[in-house]
Amino acid sequence: MTPTGATGPRVLLRQLREVMAGDGSPQQRLDTLTRIIAANMVAEVCSIYLMRPGEVLELSATHGLKPEAVHTTRLRVGEGIVGDVAAHARPLALRDAQKHPNFAYRPETGEDMFHSMLSVPVVRSGTVIGVLAVQNRTLREYHEEEAEALQTVAMVLAELVISADLVRLSDLTKANGNVTLPQRIEGLPLSDGLADGIVVLHEPPVEVHTLIAEDPAAETERLNAALEALARAIDAMFDDDDLSPGSEHYEILETYRMFSQDRGWLAKIREGIDSGLTADAAVQRVQLETHTRMSGMANAYLRERLHDLEDLSNRLLRLLAGKSLGVTPEEMPDNAVVVARSLGPADLLDYNRSKLRAVLLEEGSATEHVAVIARALNIPMVGMIDNALQRFPAGDTVIVDGRQGTVYLRPGDDAYQAYQENLAARDRLRLEYAALRDKPAVTTDGTPVSLQMNAGLLFDLPHMDEAGVDGIGLFRTELQFMVQETFPDVATQASIYSRVLDAAGTRPVVFRTLDIGGDKVLPYLDRPAAREENPAMGWRALRLGLDRPALLRNQLRALLQAAGGRSLRVMFPMVSDVAEFLAARKLLDRELERMRERGQAVPRDLRVGAMLEVPSLVWQLEKLLPHVGFVSIGSNDLMQFFYAVDRSNPVVAARYDMLSPAFLSLIGRIIEQCRAHAVPVGLCGEMAGRPLEAMCLIGLGLRNLSMPATAVGPVKMMVRSLNGAVLAGYLKGLLDSSEPSVRDKLRNFAQDHGFVI
């Protein structure tokens, strides 16, 4: 049987259009629709359930069930098959619905003789406004095409329901406390700071109102024109040397280009137009299907790619609607709070910094690079906000508290007042931190701790003096590469590094060589054609540098030149094996030799270190330590690889605690071995910037911590309140604990002893 077997899709859509445009009350039209759909789908039953305030679905029209059940039968969202479809916003095709664990029998409907059931959600503006279901007596398998056909019908139905006022979106959202009332929304704190501003959606969705076409040929032409414009836009993004808002990073662009030429995708859209939909509706239908498939996908990589495809559909819809792509500078208010599903580091850097107040994400985790950059830029960021794109309407006002991970939507007077007080309290605290600026970071029992700062962008540099740091413990050189449009040549790199050293004066700066790969992508770098399933564990950092020695040598040459007669500290990221460190060191020595031969000034004092981010290196320390000038623990990646937990996957990123006995023992072991070899060791992951974690690291014996500039004040305050010996004694016993985390114990201990965390 074909999907719309009786009459074919175009006839069905024509019939639907006639009903929508015809006379009769909305109820009569719904009734007619159920008849037409049932006939077309060769089903004995067709029912329409509409959403009522309070998350209840009401049987609003039926062909085939008992008429007296209409406006009587009600199911809560999540209850029964219909409630299940609404709860998950995805279709359900069941050979025998009565065997489904969620089946809820409603005797008044007389549905006991119907076995198979196909139900699809009716969605408008991202909100489920109803469910459309067909049923058959026989144990029937519904084909995927039938589900697609019913989804198309559901799109048309959604338009009728909304335009005839059968469901008011505002009533639904109001019932969820969601429309004009102020709301407090909790998420995951990713970057500290307080801000208020106007919501700007990163990729605003487009509403399609005209669904059924008069003239398919004209729709095909519109589609072709929009596809051409899309191809041009993608090409322009590739070439764009003006990093304008909305430009995407390379991998996504490549995926866009691939999908935009993807025959299957285009064929499905064209099929939609052939069946009588407008070009816009055809794109939206395919988008809906994609979304449905995506939500059920277990493979994160494929899910990501399908997300890309959704984004591409959105772009195409914008073009069809005659709107520009991305957020234009004019659409960007002076106090924008950008709301996105997720953002890559490059997306964030694309926004005009002077207008960006805060970022809210549906996804996001604390050690993912976009959060690292947000902290470097001092932009409050909150992640893991369910349905953020739907919950924050563009143009609404919000207050973002990046420390608590709290967002106030349409804040009332109370929230505003609390915000002002909070701002004032922060100003006071900032003054307290500023007062500590020139005071030493020494514990109460006299142990000095060197507090350094992480940097990577030139506008980080003034923070050195503002925060009063001892140096830069991690300069992420790749960030400089990410804000360029082409590979910076040796001279350009040397001038950047030289500016960093100038700003630091006599204070040390640890330059980390390029850590490209993972979620840090350079648009202009040729990468192997094969896509990486796990880029964080893939061709990145030193692996890439050793495979592209010219690239690494150029960077090392630039660093050596920038230092001239000054001191220089260089470290290699993601060292997994001693041999890799030695190979990198050899490249550096060759560059040094070359300079000497040419009579150029070489650094007065050169120290070369390894980042310890891959657990394998812990078992090679005996071999490694004689060759290195220092070790820097990259706790973000070390944690990721130690627990096999993707730092940018919000579902698992917070599952394990850095303050677990296992991870702390690992760090303790590294510190001990470095100490035994008299090799300086520090830590430069995000962990160092959190007072409680930093306190624990000091207790384990670390004396060198590098952190975001904004963390220096709170960490220094903690150090100056800390008795290191008392803490070290307490920690010894704690690491034997068999609990997954010692966070609470440490916090209580700190509070009991007056350590300021």
- Catalytic annotation on 291? no
- Find which of Mg ion, ligand PEP, none residue 280 binds, CB within 5 to 8 Å per kind: none
Q: Which residue's CB is nearer to ligand PEP, number 216 or number 708?
A: 708
- Find which of ligand PEP, Mg ion, none residue 276 binds, CB within 5 to 8 Å per kind: none
Q: How many residues bind Mg ion (CB under 5 A)?
A: 3
**In the complex, what is the shortest distance from the CB of residue 167 to Mg ion, in angstroms, rounded to a whole number?**
49
Could you give the CA distance from residue 646 to residue 640 in angstroms, rounded to a whole number? 6
Instruction: Using alpha carbons, list the distances in angstroms from residue 674 to 86, 308, 622, 650.
Output: 58, 45, 9, 33
Q: Which residue's CB is nearer to ligand PEP, number 45 or number 684?
A: 684
Give the pair of three-digit tokens for residue 553: 């040598």
Could you give the CA distance from residue 717 to residue 711 in angstroms, rounded to a whole number? 10
Label each residue of 599-614 as H, E or C: CCCCCCEEEEEEEECC
Phi/psi at 487 (5° precision): -60, 125
Q: Which residue's CB is nearer to ligand PEP, number 373 or number 625?
A: 373
b (16+ CB within 10 A) / e for 401-432: bbeebbbbbbbeeebeeebeeeeeeeeeeeee
What is the number of alpha carbons within 13 Å of residue 712 lying toward its C-beta? 33
Could you give the CA distance from residue 44 to residue 64 in angstroms, rounded to a whole number? 6
Q: Which of 249, 476, 527, 540 is in the footprint of ligand PEP by CB under 6 A?
A: 476
Q: Which 685-724 positions form the footprint of ligand PEP (CB under 6 A)?
A: 685
DSSP string spanning 304-354?
HHHHHHHHHHHHHHHHHTTPPSS--GGG--TTEEEEES---HHHHHHS-TT
* Contact call for residues 199 and 394 (beta carbons, < 8 A): yes
Q: Which residue's CB is nearer to Mg ion, number 591 or number 613?
A: 613
**Number of neighbours of residue 527 by Cβ within 10 angstroms:** 18
**In the complex, what is the shortest distance from the CB of residue 487 to ligand PEP, in angstroms, rounded to a whole number?**
20
Instruction: Using alpha carbons, list the distances in angstroms from residue 411 to 282, 369, 400, 419.
Output: 39, 30, 10, 10
Give the pair of three-digit tokens for residue 540: 């990145």
Q: Which residue's CB is nearer to ligand PEP, number 31 or number 613?
A: 613
Q: Which residue's CB is nearer to ligand PEP, number 247 or number 636?
A: 636
**In the complex, what is the shortest distance from the CB of residue 623 to ligand PEP, in angstroms, rounded to a whole number?**
22
Q: Which 603-622 positions form the footprint of Mg ion (CB under 5 A)?
A: 613
What is the number of alpha carbons within 13 Å of residue 373 lying toward its C-beta? 25
Task: Name the active-site residue from 369, 463, 674, 696.
Answer: 369
Decide: is 456 part of the binding site for Mg ion (CB under 5 A). no
Q: Which 590-629 positions form the footprint of ligand PEP (CB under 6 A)?
A: 613
Could you give the CA distance from residue 376 to residue 365 in angstroms, rounded to a whole number? 15
Under DSSP, the state recorded for 108 is G
Could you give the CA distance from residue 240 to residue 747 in angstroms, rounded to a whole number? 50
Q: Which residue's CB is nearer to Mg ion, number 82 or number 574?
A: 574
Nearest CA to 67 out of 118, 23, 116, 30 is that of: 30
- Find which of ligand PEP, Mg ion, none residue 474 binds, CB within 5 to 8 Å per kind: ligand PEP
Q: Which residue's CB is nearer to ligand PEP, number 156 or number 474?
A: 474
Decide: is 460 part of the binding site for ligand PEP (CB under 6 A). no
- Find which of ligand PEP, Mg ion, none residue 234 binds, CB within 5 to 8 Å per kind: none
**In the complex, what is the shortest distance from the CB of residue 474 to ligand PEP, in angstroms, rounded to a whole number?**
6
Q: Which residue's CB is nearer to ligand PEP, number 320 or number 575?
A: 575
**In the complex, what is the shortest distance from the CB of residue 121 to ligand PEP, in angstroms, rounded to a whole number?**
40
Task: Name the active-site residue from 46, 307, 463, 684.
Answer: 684
Tokens 């139900």, located at residue: 119
**In the complex, what is the shortest distance from the CB of residue 726 to ligand PEP, in angstroms, rounded to a whole number?**
28
Counting every residue, how long is the chain?
757
**In the complex, what is the shortest distance from the CB of residue 476 to ligand PEP, in angstroms, rounded to a whole number?**
5
Decide: is 515 part of the binding site for ligand PEP (CB under 6 A). yes
**In the complex, what is the shortest distance from the CB of residue 580 to ligand PEP, in angstroms, rounded to a whole number?**
16
**In the complex, what is the shortest distance from the CB of residue 641 to ligand PEP, in angstroms, rounded to a whole number?**
9
Q: Which residue's CB is nearer to ligand PEP, number 226 or number 688?
A: 688
**In the complex, what is the shortest distance from the CB of residue 187 to ligand PEP, in angstroms, rounded to a whole number?**
21
Tokens 């069809």, located at residue: 320
- Find which of Mg ion, ligand PEP, none residue 372 binds, CB within 5 to 8 Å per kind: ligand PEP
Q: Which 626-645 positions form the footprint of Mg ion (CB under 5 A)?
A: 634, 637
CA dihedral 55, 57, 60, 62 (to 10 degrees): 160
Could you give the CA distance from residue 561 to residue 602 in angstroms, rounded to a whole number? 7
Decide: is 474 part of the binding site for ligand PEP (CB under 6 A). yes
- Catalytic annotation on 684? yes
- Cβ-Cβ contacts under 8 Å for 30 (sequence gap 6 or more): 48, 60, 61, 160, 166
- Find which of Mg ion, ligand PEP, none residue 452 binds, CB within 5 to 8 Å per kind: none
Give the pair of three-digit tokens for residue 207: 């509403």
In single-letter form, the type of residue at position 680 comes to P
- Binding mask 626-665 toward ligand PEP (x if CB under 6 A, else -) reads --------xxxx----------------------------
- Binding mask 554-593 toward ligand PEP (x if CB under 6 A, else -) reads ----------------------------------------
Q: Which 360-389 positions form the footprint of ligand PEP (CB under 6 A)?
A: 372
Q: How many residues bind ligand PEP (CB under 6 A)?
A: 11
Under DSSP, the state recorded for 715 is H
Angle formed at CA 314 by CA 234 and CA 190, multiple of 5 degrees: 90
* Contact call for residues 533 and 557 (beta carbons, < 8 A): no
Decide: is 519 part of the binding site for ligand PEP (CB under 6 A). no
* Active site residue ranges: 369, 684
What is the contact surface with ligand PEP in residues (CB under 6 A)? 372, 474, 476, 515, 613, 634-637, 684-685
What is the contact surface with Mg ion in residues (CB under 5 A)? 613, 634, 637
